[in-house]
Amino acid sequence: MSQSELLVDRENLVARGNLPRHVAIIMDGNGRWATRRGLPRIAGHHAGRRSVREVVEGCGELGIECLTLFTFSSENWSRPSAEVSALMRFLRQVLLEEVQELADNNVRLETIGRRGDLPRQVRRELEKTMTRLAGNTGLRLVLALSYGGRSELVDCCRDLAREVRDGTLDPEKIDEALVERHLYTAGIPNPDLLIRTSGEMRLSNFLLWQLAYAEIYVTDTLWPDFRKGDLFRAISEYQNRDRRFGRIE
């Protein structure tokens, strides 16, 4: 898609309104993209870096408030140790090399998940990057790292149980709003639109509570081939959906 076509699409999306506040993406297909080309799996992750740039840029151009990327799941730790190590090195490299562009584009960086599971050098770089970008007022870019939806709910239950045990919380006062304040995503609006690449029809333990009423868009495009035009098509379809949240129009 040419730059002029992208500009027209962007202007049309903004003019229609009803843009999602929060877009979440399961970035799937890096390994398959590499395997089909006879390359090591890590090459697919490197190729997917351009896709991340494009969706960050596209969301910023549309004025979307929040973008969450499923970057590394709690289940990914079970992959071969060489691949996990390569992914951690790659994550640190991306943080080092992309921080200036994120700063130039007024992007804030946040994370959700069990960050303590990450290698010390990666945690250190994450903290430096988040601190540098903390004053920005544009897109909130949230990386789900060592993240699992079930783990999140377990951690939430533990926090609530501790408060009940300590006598600071009446169990009868626990409601949905209180649960949400104890999730990793506290203070972040629930996603309006979930995009999954590579054609797979599952949530893969991603934002199980938060996606209750999200619109889901699945594309056969593998993540390294996903571009700004693909993002705009997903959002255009979202704008055509009728979100009733269980009500009748």
pLDDT at 46: 96
Supply the angle between the helices 41-62 and 228-240 in degrees, to the nearest 10: 60
Q: Is 230 a catalytic residue?
A: no
Q: Name the DSSP letter for residue 198.
A: T
| 92 is annotated as contributing to ligand binding | no
Query: Would you state the structure tokens that stand for residue 4, as one six-digit string?
Result: 């002029």
pLDDT at 12: 92
The catalytic position among 28, 190, 192, 230 is: 28
Distances in Å between the Cα of 106 and the Cα atoms of 5, 23, 133, 194 are 25, 18, 8, 23
249 inside domain: no
53, 139 Cβ separation under 8 angstroms: no
203 inside domain: yes
Q: What angle is formed at CA 229 by the lines to CA 226 and CA 234, rounded to 5 degrees?
A: 80
Express each pLDDT in 31-83 by its tens digit.
999 999 999 999 999 999 999 999 999 999 999 999 999 999 999 999 999 99
Residue 79 CA to residue 30 CA, distance in Å, equals: 14
pLDDT over 90 at 3, yes or no: no
| 246 is annotated as contributing to ligand binding | no
% residues pLDDT > 90 (the chain): 92
The catalytic position among 9, 12, 76, 105 is: 76
pLDDT over 80 at 4, yes or no: no
pLDDT at 249: 63
80 inside domain: yes
172 inside domain: no
176 inside domain: no
Predicted TM-score (pTM) of this structure? 0.95
Residues 7-15, mean pLDDT to the nearest whole number: 89
pLDDT over 70 at 148, yes or no: yes
Query: What one-letter code names the amino acid at 31?
Result: G
Q: Name the DSSP letter for residue 197.
A: -
Express each pLDDT in 105-114 by its tens digit.
999 999 999 9
Q: Name the DSSP letter for residue 51.
A: H
pLDDT at 8: 78
| Total domains, the chain | 1
185 inside domain: no
Express each pLDDT in 160-195 by its tens digit.
999 999 999 999 999 999 999 999 999 999 999 999
**Full residue range of the structural domain in which residue 32 is found:** 21-148+191-240
| 57 is annotated as contributing to ligand binding | no
Q: Is 105 a catalytic residue?
A: no
| 203 is annotated as contributing to ligand binding | yes
Q: Please, what is the average pLDDT of the chain?
A: 95
Query: Would you state the structure tokens that stand for residue 98, as one six-digit string?
Result: 């992309």
Phi first, then psi, for residue 239 (nearest 5°) are -65, -20
Residue 215's domain is classified under what CATH number? 3.40.1180.10
The H-assigned helical ranges of the chain are 3-16, 30-36, 41-62, 81-104, 120-133, 149-165, 176-181, 228-240
